[in-house]
Chain A
């Protein structure tokens, strides 16, 4: 499965466009992480636990998007976009979407 945020894969041609596929997940951080983040808010710096959490969630969103793509018989998802939004206090939504396509075999 090729995942790309450009629309043309060099050297390959798209034989079929299959439409949009999406993957999303909503994640909450647990209370313990908030304590550490509270300290970090005093000193500044990267919130490593949050970075990991969001990255993990984003990977799940991509995995779900790819599951959709696979289910409809695509072998690549092009023009992939990500969006992150905070839905409720303490919960973030990670969203990935793109166009599922079938790439023709290399010429």
Chain B
């Protein structure tokens, strides 16, 4: 029991330290990439701008699976005893969603697109955190990439950054 207590404290601390470090690093990278991909526009509208001359279009998607760390799991478990906002999962899912959108954008840029429309997002839990299982969340972002005649110039701008 003594060892169990020590192991528990160790796992929670390791989860907290590494999980938080990974999260901060990830958010930094997300912010930086969001800025460099800012020129690629994304919308959830179903119709392309009427005046836009579209050379090509393609379905593009990005997905990411992010695991819950031990600290978050315990913290969320404690929260589920009392109810209320699960703050530790909010940042997790925010990360996952923004990462999925960024990956979708990367896919669109590979197509030479300048705009993604009709973006939709799906969230799924890979396993529901049952004992002995890995808790993880998947976010899938997909949309229609539009390639316009002036796109090459845009891709150059992005890649040169």
Contact = CB atoms under 8 A, between A and B. Distances in A.
- Direct contact, A vs B (beta carbon within 8 Å): yes
Interface of A: 7, 17, 19-20, 22, 24-33, 53, 60, 78-79, 81, 83, 85-91, 93, 95, 97-99
Contacts of A31: 80-83
Given A7-B47, A83-B123, A99-B44, A90 B94 contact: no
A71 to B, nearest CB: 15
List 4 A-B pairs, minimum CB-CB distance, nearest first.
Answer: A30-B83, A90-B80, A28-B80, A26-B89
B17 interface: no
Contacts of B90: 24-26
B14 interface: no
Interface of B: 41-47, 49, 68, 73, 76, 79-87, 89-90, 93-94, 97, 101, 119-125, 128-130, 135, 137
Nearest to B73: A88
Contact of A93 (B41, B43, B87, B123): B123
Contact of B125 (A27, A28, A32, A87): A87
A91 B76 contact: yes
Prevailing SS type, chain A contact patch: strand
A99 B45 contact: yes
B73 to A, nearest CB: 8
B89 A86 contact: no
B107 to A, nearest CB: 16
22 contacts: A17-B41, A20-B101, A22-B97, A25-B85, A26-B90, A26-B93, A29-B80, A29-B83, A30-B83, A31-B83, A53-B83, A81-B44, A81-B120, A83-B122, A87-B123, A88-B135, A89-B80, A89-B128, A91-B80, A95-B123, A97-B44, A99-B43
Contacts of B121: 22, 83, 95, 97
Given A28-B83, A29-B83, A85 B123 contact: yes
Contacts of B43: 17, 19-20, 99
B96 to A, nearest CB: 10
Contacts of A30: 80-84
A30 B119 CA distance: 34
